[in-house]
Amino acid sequence: MSSPRLYRLTLPLAAAALLAAGCAQQVTRYGDEKGVETVTNEFGSTDLQTIAESMARSMQTAPVIVSGNLPIVTVQEVRNRTSEYIDTRAITDSIRTELQKGGKVRFAVDQSGLKQQTSEIDRQQSGYYAREQSVDKGQMVGAQYRMEGNITSIVKQVRDTKDVYYKFSLQLWNIRNGLLEWSDEKEIRKTTTRG
């Protein structure tokens, strides 16, 4: 068999084999969204859920939350000081949701949502809406406390082992007097070994 003819036969066969192999292996299943995820040792869903739960539960027992009459909190930035991409907004959203559902805290619109909030008020004030049902300017309630934090990591790697340590810290600051009213940390260690 001549060489070009051999190629003509081999290439479609190889492509068909690859396709068949790909189709045979691919299986999609729904999983447990609350299950322990250890696919890689990068920041994952279990870390996010564990941190959010731990921080929200701890904050609920803070004296200013326990003694306050539904204190108003605004969420500020959680700085990502790790070497990987982490959506810190997803962490603060989960903390906020758990606290809101717990019914001990109210949340004021934060910086990221302020533009949408004020533009909606402006839209209602534009003259197109019934005056008595429109929201007046100057009615928004300012927060008493602001929540901010950091996430840092230490990564150590040798040939067959990679160790990742995360530290998430969150603080609750009194906006009026600048006092730190509550803070807590959550640490996570994950080690991956090959072989």
Partner 1 sequence: MKYAWIPVAVLATALGAGCATKKGFEVPGQAFGCPIGEQKIASMEDLVKAKVVTEGSRTTVVPTEMRCSRSGDLLRIDANLNNDSKTVKRVSYKFRWIDREGMRAWEEEAWKPLMVYDNSNLMVNTVAPTNKAADFRLILRSME
Give the residues lining the site for partner 1 (CB under 8 A): 32, 34-36, 46, 49-50, 53, 56-58, 60-61, 66, 98, 101-103
Residue type, 103: G
Complex with partner 1: residue 94 or 134, whichever CB lies closer: 94
- Of 58 and 117, the one with the shorter C-beta distance to partner 1 is 58
Q: Which is nearer to partner 1, 21 or 66 (CB)?
A: 66
Q: Are strands 106-107 and 145-157 parallel, antiparallel or unpaired?
A: unpaired
Reported as type and span, the H/E element at residue 1 is none
Minimum CB distance to partner 1 smaller for 7 or for 30: 30
Q: How far is the CB of 6 from partner 1 (least distance, A)?
A: 52
Of the pair 143, 188, the CB lying nearest partner 1 is at: 188
Q: Minimal distance in Å, beta carbon 46 to partner 1?
A: 7
Residue 168 and residue 147 in contact, taking contact as beta carbons nearer than 8 Å? no
Kindly report the number of other CB atoms within 10 A of residue 55's CB atom.
Answer: 25
Least Å distance, CB 100 to partner 1, is 11
Residue (10 or 97) nearer to partner 1, CB: 97
- Minimum separation from the CB atom of position 53 to partner 1 (A): 7
d(CA 181, CA 71): 12
Q: E strands within 111-179?
A: 145-157, 161-174
CB 166 within 8 A of CB 153: yes
The residue written with tokens 């290439």 in the block is 11
Q: What is the smallest separation between the CB atom of 61 and partner 1, expressed in angstroms?
A: 5
- Residue 46, burial from CB neighbour count under 10 angstroms (0-12, 13-18, 19+): middle
Shortest Å, Cβ 181 to partner 1: 15
CA angle 87–90–94, rounded 5-degree value? 155
Backbone angles phi, psi at 70, to 5 degrees: 50, 70
